[in-house]
Amino acid sequence: MQTVQTIITDLKDKPGALLPILHAVQNSLGYVPPEIVPTIAKALNLSRAEVHGVISFYHYFRDHAPGKKTVRICRAESCLAMGGKALESQIKTKLGIDYHETTEDGNYSLEAVYCLGNCACSPAIQIDNDVYGRVTAESFNEILTEQSA
Amino acid sequence: MSITVYVPCDSSAVSLGANRVANAITQEAEKRGVEINVVRNGSRGMYWLEPMVEVATDNGRIAYGAVKTGDVASLFDANFLNGGTHALNLGLTEEIPYLKKQQRLTFARVGITDPVSVEDYVAHDGYRGLKNALSYSQAEIVKHVSDSGLRGRGGAAFPTGIKWNTVLNTPSEQKYIICNADEGDSGTFSDRMIMEGDPLVLIEGMTIAGLAVGATQGYIYLRIEYPHALEILNAAIANATAANYLGENIQGSGKTFHLEVRQGAGAYVCGEETALMESLEGKRGLVRFKPPLPAISGLFGKPTVVNNVISLASVPVILDKGGEFYRDFGMGRSRGTLPLQLAGNLKHAGLVELAFGATLREVLYDFGGGSATGKPIRAVQVGGPLGSYLPESQFDTPLDYEAFAAIWAVLGHGGIVAFDETVDMAQMAKYSMEFCVEESCGKCTPCRIGSTRGYEVMDEIVNKRDLDKNIPLLRSLCDTMLNGSLCAMGGMTPYPVLSALNHFPEDFGIKAA
């Protein structure tokens, strides 16, 4: 809560402060806890509904803790043209989860993404901030080993 | 004297291992006691050769690619630091045909300079446009942009000069410049390459825009999927500020321009300019009604220029060499160059900047080298997820806004995604509807409900159920979305859907008309 207060104090006077605040909160906590919505709303003179509306509108913001790392699979056309559909099901099988789920050991969450701008190296995935290109079922296994090292 | 070695920091190059290669080169040099200077440059855009390492020699840069960490020791053995012979030696970078055949104006420096170095930027003709702009009146700056014939490279192709002129002539104490860097169109990555490879050209372009219309604050609205671009942009902004190219009293001119990067949060629709402004204001990204135009009442109700990354990054060369220089490239009403992004199932995917007018076929085969899988290219989607699919019979269409409009297609942001013969176009049409379901902002009914119904109808169609009823229903629904949606999200989703249906009816279980 101390962190959240500091973030709000630092950012609340920026024009259009809500998104920067939500980003800062999610960067430090990994998600935006529903219990801090009233605090943010009060600081920005907004209703709780408005803040909740923004959090729920954007795919990136989440209201619950994710796994230690988030795997994002690109579902867009360029990756589909290069076997993205097969890769998607291989990754789901490997991790044993579907989109918006977290592995039992809490290590990985899985999300879909529509384009990583890595379309010249399709199919692409992202794990946290790291982008990987020309991913295959085999290279995904190596990536997981590297990520867990 | 130490030898300079270039290893791209571009996130696509990094996605293929460029960071590991850079580390391996540094370590191997230390091990061998050789002094080298590793510069992390942007990518030249030849992604089948990435990670591509370049070495500066007396004759010019020599390229090696694609380099894997396992190749590094043998590169040193082959004396690559002096351009030695090696299986991966590609010769002089500038002589590689893929690069040599291009007309790089906007991308002139990408891959050549250290992206965040103001000194390097200036040494390679950077900030010459701004210098000229500082000696011009506001109207003169706008005139150069108008004369250049530059049209919005984000996809809508609206003349940039007209937009700037409207903002210039709308009196207000506060005006804004927004760079739309929400490059959400799948199959596109030119904005990312500029922001990671030559961010200062974007910063210079925005500064010139600020001078032209009298805006002192700029925002770059950057999509969340580009974390590397964020780091590089922020470093470049800090360096430009330290060198007095941003902030108060720029280069002693008395002019002010501040710049800040704001991150989106994963909403495709925020690439639509009014939704983008809502998002910048801290709200849900709902599309606004127009009018009022953003140029008159935009961000926080103030006159606002909203331009795409490539539009703004093309401004410095226009101000440096004059509007006429830029206008002399291109064809018809499409002037200048368009950075094309070759993606999907192509052997040589990458960035190709060309004057308007080359045909799609030339780009797909002369540059792209045909499909990566070696099978015939069956369909090509041009212009992002809302662009039409083109069959082989349309590959001779010149890359020109009007020529594409004439065949009910769009150039958009210049993304070109190729599919080989294994593609099922009915599945792609279903995907387009699904994408619209995911990304619709929900404000207007044709898009919000239409996409959901469209997805359901497409599901029936791919399962070959009641085609006699469902195909006309799909067409009727697309008609409503096309004509009744508030913005391009719902209004253009029918482009990929109907073009797939019209050009590839056999995939929908029906005979060609």
pLDDT value for B183? 95
Residues recorded for chain B: 513
Q: Are B172 and B287 in a shared domain? A: yes
| Same domain for B184 and B317 | yes
B59 burial level (CB within 10 Å; 0-12, 13-18, 19+): exposed
Cβ separation B284–A54 shorter than 8 A: yes
> How many percent of chain B have pLDDT more than 70?
99
Beta-carbon contacts of residue B447 (< 8 Å; ≥ 6 apart): B436, B440, B441, B481, B485, B486, B487, B489, B490, B491, B493
- Tell which of B420, B439, B467 closes a domain: B420
Whether B106 is in a domain gets the answer: no
CB B16 within 8 A of CB A133: yes
| Helices B199-213, B128-135: crossing angle, 10 deg rounding | 10
State whether residue B313 is helix, strand or coil. helix
Last residue of a domain, one of B373, B393, B420: B420
Q: Is residue B513 part of a domain?
A: no
Is B362 within the bounds of a domain? Answer: yes
Instruction: Determine the pLDDT at residue A55.
Output: 98
The reply to whether B147 and B172 lie within a common domain is yes
Where chain B has pLDDT below 50, the residues are none
The CATH number covering residue B210 comes to 3.40.50.11540
Same domain, B88 and B138: no
Q: Whole domain around residue B51: which residue ranges?
A: 3-97
What's the full length of chain A, in residues?
149
Q: Which of A57, A62, A113, A125 to mutate to test the interface with B (most CBs of B within 10 A)?
A: A57
CA distance A81 to B211: 44
Tell me: do B194 and B272 sit in the same domain. Answer: yes
Specify if B109 maps to a domain.
Answer: no
pLDDT of B511 reads 81
B265 in reach of chain A (CB within 8 A)? yes
Q: Which of B15, B43, B389, B436 to mutate to test the interface with A (most CBs of A within 10 A)?
A: B15
pLDDT of residue A148: 87
> Is the residue at B489 inside a domain?
yes
CATH code for the domain of B395: 3.10.20.600
Same domain for B465 and B487?
yes
Residue of B nearest to A61 (CA): B265
Same structural domain, B401 and B263 = no
- Identity of the residue in A58, A124, A126 whose CB atom sits nearest the CB atom of B265: A58
CA distance B199 to chain A (A): 16
Q: Tell whether B365 and B311 lie within a shared domain.
A: no
Is residue B344 exposed (0-12), middle (13-18) or buried (19+ Cβ within 10 Å)? buried
Same domain, B458 and B499: yes
Interface check B282 vs A, CB under 8 A: yes
User: Mean pLDDT, to the nearest integer, of A119-124?
Assistant: 98
Are A122 and B428 inside 8 Å of each other by CB? no
- Do B47 and A124 count as a contact with CB atoms less than 8 A apart? no
How many angstroms separate the CA atoms of B290 and B487, rounded? 10
Quickly list H helices, chain A.
2-11, 18-29, 37-44, 48-57, 77-81, 84-95, 137-148
Residues B206 and B276 in one domain: yes
By C-alpha distance, which of B195, B197, B168, B169 is closest to B180? B195
Which pLDDT belongs to residue B51? Answer: 98
CA A43 to chain centre: 25
Give domain status of residue B438, yes or no: yes
Smallest CA-to-CA distance from B439 within B225, B226, B185, B221 is with B185
Could you tell me if residue B17 is inside a domain? yes
Q: Report phi then psi at B258, rounded to 5.
A: -105, 150
Residue contact A119–B415, C-beta within 8 A:
yes
For the segment B416-437, what is each residue's pLDDT rounded down to a tens digit?
A: 999 999 999 999 999 999 999 9
Report yes or no: B25 and B38 within 8 Å, Cβ to Cβ: yes
Q: What total number of domains does chain B contain?
A: 4
**Confidence class of residue A149 from pLDDT cuts 50, 70 and 90?**
confident
Chain B residue closest in CA terms to A139? B16
Same domain, B280 and B398: no
A77 vs chain B: nearest CA distance in angstroms?
Answer: 7
Same domain, B257 and B365: no
**Is the CB of residue B323 less than 8 Å from the CB of residue B144?**
yes
Check B343 against A50: CB less than 8 A apart: no
- In terms of Cα–Cα distance, which of B358, B375, B506, B507 is closest to B428? B507
Is B107 part of any domain? no
Tell me the residues of A at the B interface, defined by beta carbons under 8 Å apart: 15-20, 22-23, 44, 50, 53-54, 57-61, 74, 76-78, 80-82, 113-122, 124, 126, 129-134
pLDDT of A1 above 80: no
Q: Which of B399, B420, B441 is the last residue of a domain?
A: B420
CATH number, domain with residue B26: 3.40.30.10
Chain B CB contacts of A114 below 8 Å: 184, 186, 268, 385, 435, 438-439
DSSP 8-state class, residue A121: G
Does the beta-carbon distance from A23 to B263 stay under 8 Å? yes
Query: Which residues does B293 contact at the CB level (< 8 Å), separation at least 6?
Result: B166
Neighbouring residues of B361: CB distance < 8 A, sequence distance ≥ 6: B395, B396
